[in-house]
A = this chain, B = another copy of it.
Amino acid sequence: MTDAKVTSIDVARLAGVSQSAVSRVFSGASASKSTIAKVRAAAAQLGYRPNSLARAMITGKSRIIGLVVAYLDNQFYPAAIERLGAALQERGYHILLMMAENSAEGVEQVIQDLMAYQVDGIITASVAMTSDLTERCAALGIPVVMFNRGQDGSGFSAITSANREGGAKVAEFLLAGAHQRIAHIAGWQGSSTGRDRTEGFVARLAEAGVTPVATIDGMYARDAAAEAARTIMAQDARPDAIFVGNDHMAFAVMDVLRGELGLSVPGDVSVVGYDDVPMAAWPAYDLTTLRQPINRMVEATVDTVLGQIEDPDRLPEKIEIAGPLIVRGSARIPEGWTR
């Protein structure tokens, strides 16, 4: 007997109690055994479920988290969304998903929309925010957590992997492999993750007295990375190793090296990526890469945003989680290292 719209008043009438009694039963406030039983029975009979929007109006808590995401080509983000969604659902929250091109106006518009829906918190994945916008969110008491992207200033929380350290680990690995001419196709230098990985990488090389033979910004895009690979391999000092700023670009680079240039990986060139997306383990690429510990990053993100919702005085935090280098077959394996 599912009727068009069932409200708590209908349930109250059928159960012979007041509307507030129904509300108390469903919001977990105290009520007598008999009332609970009557209400539950009536609700079941009518197929009643409390209206979340009305509930949100009155409590000021929508239990909705806004998730802003730029593009989903890079397999890392679908994987992250999948886990974020599951983790939030488990804790009684829901996701309002927004696509935003990574421009100031685009993000502005999207955040405005989210605020209009009274989201309790916002998670941005691979999207930068103007500090103006972040201040407005802070003024409204809406916590913002940036996933896989950091930002200077202290208005917001950010969860990333330990990108400098990660870049350094890759440098160490390539140095240990006795590579002579090391190149770098960088993650987008407009993003903190891209810059940090590059910095850590270059700094550790410098400690060993090595300078990259080339560094090109791959913009986190397949075609830019492919083009960068062509450019790099066309130059005089042809590299024997390339560190690519993420796996998504690394696949494009390997496609160019093997497909277009007929080179062997790692015979002629070693390739190392960053992320360890599922595809990196597939035999077709078998990519050596620095793993971003996605599960722990997601946990930290959820903990941070929900923690800040529950305790508004909590300060924003920037969390970096270190990940291991996953040694596979796309780069020469130094003596003493194992897969």
Contact partners of A54 in chain B: CB under 8 A: 57
Kindly state whether residue A291 has any CB partner on chain B within 8 Å.
no
Contacts A140-B4, A284-B251, A284-B254: A116 and B75 contacting too (C-beta < 8 A)?
Answer: no
Copies of this protein, total: 2
Shortest distance in angstroms between A158's beta carbon and chain B's nearest beta carbon?
22
Within 8 A of B (CB), among A29-87: 47, 49-54, 56-57, 62, 64, 67, 71-73, 75, 77-79, 81-82, 85-86
Contact partners of A77 in chain B: CB under 8 A: 78
Contact partners of A260 in chain B: CB under 8 A: 283
Closest to A138 in B: B2
A116 with B72: CB separation less than 8 A = no
Contact partners of A209 in chain B: CB under 8 A: none
Stretch of A96-104, A172-180, A234-242 at the chain-chain interface: A96-104
Shortest distance in angstroms between A107's beta carbon and chain B's nearest beta carbon?
13
A94 with B113: CB separation less than 8 A = yes
Closest to A89 in B: B99
Q: Place the interface of chain A in its size category.
A: 35 or more
Task: Identify which of B3, B57, B82, B284 contacts A72 (C-beta below 8 A).
Answer: B82
Kindly state whether residue A24 has any CB partner on chain B within 8 Å.
no
Task: Identify which of B56, B96, B255 contacts A282 (C-beta below 8 A).
Answer: B255
A51 with B94: CB separation less than 8 A = no
Closest to A6 in B: B140
A95 with B94: CB separation less than 8 A = no
Shortest distance in angstroms between A280's beta carbon and chain B's nearest beta carbon?
12
Given contacts A4-B141, A258-B284, 12 further A-B contacts (CB under 8 A): A2-B136, A4-B139, A4-B140, A49-B115, A49-B116, A53-B56, A53-B117, A67-B97, A72-B78, A89-B98, A95-B97, A259-B284
